[in-house]
Amino acid sequence: MAYQTTIRTALVLGTIVTSSLALLVSCRNSIPFNTDGLVNFAGRQADIVGENNIDGLVQIASMSGQYGAYGLGAYQGLDGEITVFEGQPYVTQIRNGDIILTHQTDGSAIFAAWTTNTEWQDEPVPARVNSYVELQYFIKERAEASGIDTAATAFPFLITGSPKELQWHINTDRTDGRAVTRESFQASKDSFVLRDEAVNIVGFYSESHHGVFIGNYAPAMGDSVELNAMHMHLVSQDGALAGHIDDLTFTDGMVLRLPQK
């Protein structure tokens, strides 16, 4: 693994809260959120720059702690990344140049997308799919083949395997308390590279939620005529790392998981 900073991982052991269905519903209804198909979402990514909003809105506890829960978001104050995989939250932050990972549930996301889904169908990723853009095409193709209207419906997806390379980042606030600009937002990221590392990827696809939980622009798209339609986070299969994916290169053996219709 190649990193741009020294990595120190602090795994904070905790128990995922298992409560009654009534309590879960109460928790989920304690925040305003929207739903499109299987995807719940709240907050707006575009408001970070457009409205200078970096306050926490979506409680981690409302995204996690339930069987089949998957989600992602930006931690309050631009102070990290939130990824939920199989009900477990992975919160990564930068402290003194090191990555700190916890399973805390007491923080919030500026914006987030999450789902509760237990039925998945596996789609082997063919060797022709090697890049971020090719992956987006492939996800759209296979989702439509399975009966998902990709032009009208947001949906979650999962990917497992060992990519040839993953470029990813963790937010760390470098705005110095001033209004967030595009430049300071881009500077508020610590970037890393993983190579041939076994990971689980949590992703959300949408062609109609740009600026909400899908970035208006993704560096990996380059000069492609296609709009970015994916938001993806990784969790390493050893549970030590998690964060936002900026770009990727695939090799054989990757598996895409789509919601089963």
3-class SS letters over the chain: CECCCCCCCCCCCCCCCCCCHHHHHHHHCCCCCEEECCEEEECCCCHHHHCCCCCCCEEHHHHCCCCCEEEEEEEHHHCCEEEEECCEEEEEEEECCEEEEECCCCCEEEEEEEEECCCEEEEECCCCCCEHHHHHHHHHHHHHHCCCCCCCCCEEEEEEECCCEEEEEEECCCCCCCCCCHHHHHHCEEEEEECCCCEEEEEEECCCCECCCECCCCHHHCCCCCCCCEEEEEEECCCCCEEEEEEEECCCCCEEEEECC
Indicate whether 131 and 238 sit together in one domain: yes
* CB atoms inside a 10 Å sphere around CB 251: 14
The pLDDT value given to residue 30: 55
Indicate whether 140 and 228 sit together in one domain: yes
Pair 45, 137: CB distance under 8 Å: no
Indicate whether 84 and 152 sit together in one domain: no
Give the up-direction half-sphere exposure of residue 79: CA atoms within 13 A in the CB hemisphere: 11
The pLDDT value given to residue 210: 94
Indicate whether 159 and 65 sit together in one domain: no
Indicate whether 88 and 129 sit together in one domain: no
The pLDDT value given to residue 235: 98
* CB atoms inside a 10 Å sphere around CB 75: 25
Q: Domain containing 210 — which CATH number? A: 3.30.1330.80
Indicate whether 108 and 203 sit together in one domain: no
Identify the sign of the CA torsion 127, 156, 67, 111.
Answer: positive
Give the residue from 63, 96, 116 where a domain finishes: 116
Residue 4 lies inside a defined structural domain of this protein: no
Residue 30 lies inside a defined structural domain of this protein: yes
Give the residue from 84, 116, 148 where a domain finishes: 116
Indicate whether 220 and 124 sit together in one domain: yes
Indicate whether 139 and 254 sit together in one domain: yes
Indicate whether 154 and 222 sit together in one domain: yes
Pair 84, 72: CB distance under 8 Å: yes
Pair 58, 73: CB distance under 8 Å: yes
Mention every residue, 6+ apart, whose C-beta is less than 8 A from residue 171: 74, 75, 78, 79, 80, 81, 188, 189, 244
Give the residue from 64, 95, 116 where a domain finishes: 116
Indicate whether 224 and 133 sit together in one domain: yes
Residue 68 is part of which domain span?
A: 21-116
- Pick the closest to residue 193 from 4, 21, 28 (CA basis): 4
Q: Distances in Å between the alpha carbon of 222 and those of 90, 198, 227?
A: 29, 26, 10
Indicate whether 129 and 226 sit together in one domain: yes
How many domains does one find in the chain? 2
Residue 10 lies inside a defined structural domain of this protein: no
The pLDDT value given to residue 245: 98
Pair 248, 220: CB distance under 8 Å: yes
The rounded average pLDDT for each run of 10 residues, N- to C-terminus, in the chain (261 residues) is: 43 35 40 92 94 95 96 98 98 97 97 97 96 96 97 97 97 94 93 98 97 88 81 98 97 95 76
